[in-house]
A and B are shown apart, each in its own frame.
Chain A
Amino acid sequence: MIKWAFRSIMNELVISVQHLTKHYKVYKKQPGLGGSLKALFSRTYETIKAVDDVSFDIAQGELIGFIGPNGAGKTTTLKVLSGLLYPTSGSVSVLGFNPWDRKAAFQKQFSLVMGQKNQLWWDLPAIESFLLNKAIYEIPEKQFQETLDKLVDLLDVRDVLNVQVRKLSLGQRMKCELIAALLHNPKVLFLDEPTIGLDVMMQKVMRDFIKSYNKEFGATIILTSHYMEDVKELCKRVVIIDHGKKLFDGELQGIIDKHARNRILSIVLSEDVPRKKLEAIGEIKSYEHPQATILVPRKEASERAAKLLQTLPVADITIEEPPIEAIIRDVFQTTK
């Protein structure tokens, strides 16, 4: 506790999660009419460990990515940090508050944005929902106007503020949802799958916005996503979660260094070469003359590349890391 307090003062720790565990009881029902009748008298249930002994600290201003497959526990963790879910065990502190207490002072300083959830009133113009949030978060008039102007200009939605939300396109609606969530200048921002369902253009807009918001307002941001593009572009530090457990916590480059076993040699051959000769260098991923991709063990990448250049007629060669998606997939596979 004291150690944590010391660290928190020194590093301005904003979020601290210690041994967080969240279990759910899920009732199992047997199919058919017989099962329904049985269920009236006795029910069996199993315990799902949505989050299993997860710990991490986040300092002020960090932009962290949570990645993991569906059902990994990312959203559950965010919901615990937001005070929506009661932890089964462990301790959580955000901005010095226990989120579960749901104190107004805490709620006025953070925001949770869930990709699919709409807080804007469907039949009213977006501005009315903004004014409602202004009253709910007790935002002073001047601050409200400044923040609103800044956000509206950043996201370029000035002309749609007075249009009923149901008449807006998905992209415009998402932008307005984002504004509604940020009007109170939250110090901490939880973004749950913010780019899901958006087209490529909107995804970029969203990412650029998150980056600017982090820079301009200095907010601490946790972002969960399936899309590696989001994480690659925005997050230096990444937390990998699967089956409720934390698998990795560190810089994105660290995953590659730790888990990537191979490197990819992409070559263009100037002459026809028999497969066998290429196999001597490494595992052939694809070979359609004149292009070939070969997987070689990481540590020997330069060695084998040199051997390749010496023994075979190579017109061009590139040494690449495997795509991060493949690495992450590997990480999930090996920890099943």
Chain B
Amino acid sequence: MFSKLQNKLNKYARVVSATWMNGFAYPLSFWMWRLRQVMSIVIAISLWQSIFAASSNVFGYDQAHMLTYIFISNIAGFIVLSSRTIEVPDVITSGDLSLYLLKPVHFFVYWFSRDIANKAQNAIFSCVELFTLFLIYRPQLAISTHIHTILLAFFAIGGGVLLYFFINMLFGFMAFWVPDVWAPRFLFFIIMFFLSGSTFPLDIYPKQLVDVLSYTPFPYLIFFPAKVWLEQLSFSQIVTGFGALLGWILAFGILTSWMWSRAIKGYGADGR
């Protein structure tokens, strides 16, 4: 029994290691990717530093807290938003899906394993980059080191990871029915850029908008984990936040499982 479990874990551990190696296959591409990550943080930091040079309190934040938010939300972002699951539509439209259906692998777990490898790469390099940027900019940060906060943040980020995974799978499975997934996904990315809290905290929006947003999945990807870590939420807010996060994970999880079973039954296995 134990060896059976071990075999199964080994299966997906191999997927993780292969994806890890694959990430380094094109050095130029890899370093470009890292450079782009760094650039986006540089833009954010520069922008806010300039803003705070003129006024010391903007949107209820002071410079230290805003920059702390930038750093924390980027850490959360690197872990939650890096993904290989965006390749799923191509797998489906090219017919390569057949290769997965022939083997004793679970499609969802396989792709989640790939995501983990990608996130691990992103996390490790991001730490180095963030540390370097910290040395360059020397911002005053106010990052909590309380154990319970870090634990809660860890679970919130984990939840964000799962949620984003299922959202991507949803777009992936759309490829079964719709020839072009890029267009709706583009729209989604745009909306996410403004509404997930990745570039700026959602508090800058009017309160009514933020309240409405709390009924959507967007804030739970980055904003909620960041706020948890910044200890800016009350106990009840944390509880309702986790409740909503769990609810969205279940909703997307069930939806994608249902889509998968429907799609496979009608699958044409085309594409030579």
Contacts and interface: CB of A to CB of B under 8 A. Distances in A.
Contact of B14 (A104, A108, A132): A132
A136 B15 CA distance: 9
Given A123-B25, A136-B103, A84 B98 contact: yes
For the complex of A and B, 9 pairs with smallest distance between CB atoms: A123-B25, A104-B104, A135-B14, A84-B269, A107-B104, A138-B7, A135-B11, A116-B272, A119-B99
A321 interface: no
Nearest to B272: A116
A124 interface: yes
A84 B104 contact: no
A45 interface: no
Contact of A85 (B14, B26, B104, B269): B269
A121 B26 CA distance: 13
A82 interface: yes
A69 B10 CA distance: 43
Contact of A124 (B22, B103, B272): B22
B246 interface: no
Contacts of A119: 99
14 contacts: A24-B268, A75-B272, A114-B98, A116-B272, A117-B98, A117-B272, A121-B22, A124-B22, A128-B18, A132-B18, A136-B11, A136-B104, A136-B105, A137-B104
Given A84-B267, A86-B266, A132-B14, 6 more contacts: A24-B268, A83-B102, A102-B101, A117-B95, A121-B18, A136-B14
B148 interface: no
B25 A117 contact: no
B13 interface: yes
Interface of A: 24, 75, 79, 82-86, 102, 104, 107-108, 111-112, 114-117, 119, 121, 123-124, 128-129, 131-138, 164
Nearest to B265: A86
A131 B7 CA distance: 13
A69 to B, nearest CB: 15
Contacts of B22: 121, 123-124
Contacts of B143: none
Contacts, number: 73
Contact of A135 (B10, B96, B272): B10
B47 to A, nearest CB: 37
A83 to B, nearest CB: 7
B21 interface: yes
Contacts of A121: 18, 22
A131 B14 contact: yes
A104 B15 CA distance: 18
Nearest to B19: A121
Contacts of B18: 121, 124, 128-129, 132
Nearest to A140: B7
B19 to A, nearest CB: 9
Contacts of B269: 79, 84-85
Contacts of B98: 79, 84, 112, 114, 117
Nearest to A123: B25
Nearest to A83: B101
A260 B43 CA distance: 78
Interface string B102-140: 111100000000000000000000000000000000000
Give the most central of B7, B10, B267, B269: most A CB within 10 Å: B269
